[in-house]
Structure 1
Amino acid sequence: MRVITAILFVFLLLLQHRLWFGKNSVPDYLALEADVARQKETNEKLVQRNKLLYADTDDLKLGVEAIEERARNELGMIKENETFFRIIPNDNKPRTTK
């Protein structure tokens, strides 16, 4: 009876070793689970970015206003007979005299 118990105990130790330290062990599973969570977060950010890009392309396909807005903001274009004013904030602090 003691021999069978010893053999079963050795098998139990071998199985525990494989469970905790072998290939596809519990730490490997936890690391993969964390990788999947990070990838899901990245994918969600990309889905949101894609939605914005699709909305942008729809605006550009359907309306002239979106094209005009982009031309003004990104290319600095102005309409004919239109005056452009650039307001530059004054970041200079008042000088104090000693």
Structure 2
Amino acid sequence: MVGRIVTLVLLALLALIHNQLWLGDGGVARAQALQAQIDAQQKANALVQQEVDRLRSEVQDLKDGNEMVEEKARGELGMLKPGEIYIQITQ
């Protein structure tokens, strides 16, 4: 009789522990959801890091030489060198 009660108590505790493991706030489903969020954030971080690297490269080009400054002036500001003629071709 005592052995049966001990067995039932142990089974109830085991069921409670498994319930918390699979269905509780810190359970397997929550861990999987958090891992999915981590994966998505890492992908977003990688995209942002690529943009940061591109901008760092551009800043370094601007610091190192005048070619990038000239390219920016021509492309974004429409500036010309003395004696140049601006021709725009539209299609």
TM-score by length of 1: 0.86
The residue aligned with 1:56 is 58
Match 1:32 to one of 31, 34, 38: 34
Cα distance in 2 for residues equivalent to 1:75 and 1:20:
61
> Which blocks of at least 5 consecutive residues in structure 1 are unaligned?
90-98
Shift of 1:12: 1.0
Kindly state the Cα deviation for residue 74 of structure 1 after the two structures are TM-superposed: 1.1
Output the aligned Cα RMSD: 0.9
* 1:41-75 superposed Cα distances (whole Å, 9 cap, x missing partner): 11111111111111100100111110010111111
Name the SS for the 1:15 alignment partner: helix
Count residues in correspondence.
Answer: 89
Aligned-partner residue type, residue 66 of structure 1: M
Q: CA–CA distance in 2 between the matches of 1:21 and 1:39?
A: 25
Cα shift at 1:23: 1.8
Identity of aligned residues (%): 36
Deviation beyond 6 Å, 4+ runs, structure 1 = none
Equivalent runs, 1:1-98 vs 2, <5 Å: 1-89=3-91
